[in-house]
Structure 1
Amino acid sequence: MKNRKKIMSVLAVGCMAASTLMSGNFVFAEGEKEVDGKLVIWEHTAQFENPLKEVIAGFQKLYPNVEIEYQIKTSDQYYNLLQTAMQAGETPDLFWTNGTATTNLQTYAKQGLLMDLTDKVDFSMYDGTQAMDICTIDDKVWATPTGEVGGRACFYNKDIFDELGISVPETFKEFEDSLPVIAEAGYIPIAFSGSDPWASLFQFEPLLAAMHLDWLNEYQEKGDVAVNDKRVVEVYDKMIQWADKGYYGTGYTGVDESGALLAFSKGEAAMCIEGTWNLQTIQENNPDLNFGAFQIPCEDGTKPFVGTNSCGFSVSANTENEAAAIAFANYFASLDGQKIWLNALQAIPCTKEIVSENPIINEMADFDVQTESYYSILGYLEGDGESPRNVWEEDQCKIFTGGISVQDFVDELEDLTR
Structure 2
Amino acid sequence: MLKIGRTAAAAVLAASALVLAACGGSGDPGGGSSSGPRTLTLWHYEGADSAMGKAWAQAIKEFETSHPGVTVKFEEKGFEQIQKTAGMVLNSDEAPDVMEYNKGNATAGLLSKQGLLTDLSDEAAKRGWDKLLSPSLQTTARYDDRGIMGSGKWFGIPNYAEYVMVYYNKDAFKKQGIEVPTTFDEFTAALDTFAKAGITPIATGGAEYPAQQIMYLLALSKADRAWVDGFQQYKGKVDFHGPEFTYGAQTFADWVKKGYISKDSAGIKAEDMGVSFIGGKFPIMISGSWWYGRFQEQIKDFDWGSFLWPGGAMAPGSSGNLWVVPEKAKNKDLAYDFIDITMNKDIQNLLGNSGGLPVAADPGAITDPKSKELVENFNKLSSQDGLAFYPDWPAPGYYDVLVAGVQELINGSKTPEQVLDEIAGPYDDNLADIGN
Q: Deviations over 1:324-378 (max 9, x none)?
A: 876654443344443345667x54445786676765555455131321111223x
Alignment partner of 1:71 out of 73, 79, 83: 73
Distance verdict in 2 for CA 1:206–1:349, change over 3 Å:
farther
Give 1:95's aligned residue.
98
Q: Is the 8 A contact 2:166 2:308 kept in 1?
A: yes
Cα shift readout 1:9-38 (whole Å, capped 9, x = no counterpart): 9xxxxxxxxxxxxxxxxxxxxxxxxxxx99
Unaligned runs of 5+ in 1: 10-36, 381-386
Match of 2:260 among 247, 259, 276: 247
Query: Within 1, Cα distance between the matches of 2:346 and 2:111?
Result: 28
Aligned to 1:373: 390
What displacement does 1:266 show? 4.9
Q: CA deviation at 1:69?
A: 2.9
> Matched residues in 1 for 2:326 and 2:422: separation?
42
Computing the radius of gyration over CA atoms, which structure comes out larger, 1 or 2?
1
| Equivalent residue for 1:200, pick from 201, 211, 231 | 211
Alignment length (residue pairs): 369
- Residue 59 of structure 2: which of 52, 55, 58 is its match? 55
SS of aligned partner of 1:298: coil
Partners of 1:211 and 1:298 within 8 A in 2: no
Report if aligned partners of 1:115, 1:314 keep a CA contact under 8 Å in 2: no
- The answer to whether the 8 Å contact 1:55/1:340 transfers is no
| Alignment partner, residue 31 of structure 1 | none
Do the aligned partners of 1:114 and 1:315 also contact (CA within 8 Å) in 2?
no
Q: Which residue of 1 aligns with 2:191?
A: 179
Shift in Å, 1:319: 8.6
Matched, 1:304 2:306: no
3-state SS, counterpart of residue 236 of structure 1: helix
- Give the partner amino acid of 2:219: L
SS of residue in 1 equivalent to 2:218 = helix
Q: CA 1:372/1:114 → structure 2, altered by over 3 Å: closer, same or farther?
A: closer
Contact 1:399 1:405 in 2 (8 A): yes
> How many Å apart are 1:169 and its aligned residue?
2.7
Contact 2:41 2:74 in 1 (8 A): yes
Q: Taking structure 1 as the reference length, what is the TM-score of the superposition?
A: 0.68
User: Aligned Cα RMSD in Å?
Assistant: 4.6
- Quote the offset at 1:403 in angstroms: 1.6
2:122 equivalent in structure 1: 116
For 1:334 and 1:177, how far apart are their aligned partners in 2? Answer: 45
CA contact (8 A) 2:143 2:153 kept: yes
CA distance, structure 1, for counterparts of residue 180 and residue 278 of structure 2:
19
Deviations along 1:64-84, one digit per CA (max 9) or x if unpaired, are 576543222354688777655
Q: Which residue of 1 aligns with 2:202?
A: 191
1:400 corresponding residue in structure 2: 410
Match of 1:44 in 2: 43
- C-alpha separation in 2, matches of 1:193 and 1:320: 40
Consecutive unaligned residues of structure 2, counting only runs of 5 or more, are 1-15, 23-35, 47-51, 145-150, 429-436
| Distance (whole Å) between structure 2 residues aligned to residue 78 and residue 6 of structure 1 | 28
Change (3 A) 1:40 1:228: farther
Deviation at 1:253, TM superposition (A): 5.8
**Cα offset for 1:315?**
9.2
Choose from 203, 226, 235 the match for 2:248: 235
TM-score by length of 2: 0.66
Q: State the alpha-carbon separation in 1 of the partners of residues 369 and 410 from structure 2.
A: 35
Alignment correspondent of 1:383: none
Counterpart AA for 1:160: A
CA contact (8 A) 1:189 1:247 kept: yes
Structure 2 contact 203–261 (Cα < 8 Å) conserved: yes
Aligned to 2:25: none
- 1:405 Cα offset (Å): 0.9
Which structure has more relative contact order (CA 8 Å, sep 6+)? It is 2
Distance 1:242 1:325, change over 3 A: closer
Tell me, in whole angstroms, the C-alpha distance in 2 between the residues paired with 1:174 and 1:113: 48
- Give the CA deviation at 1:4: 4.9
The DSSP-based 3-state class of the residue aligned with 1:130 is: helix
Q: Does 1:153 align with 2:152?
A: no
Per-residue deviation, residues 93-129 of structure 1 (Å, max 9, x unmatched): x52363662444455578x786732421212221143
Q: Which amino acid aligns with 2:220?
A: A
How far is 1:410 from its partner? 0.5
Deviations 1:284-333 (CA, angstroms, capped at 9, x unpaired): 8752121112221335xx363435621125498999996x8766544433
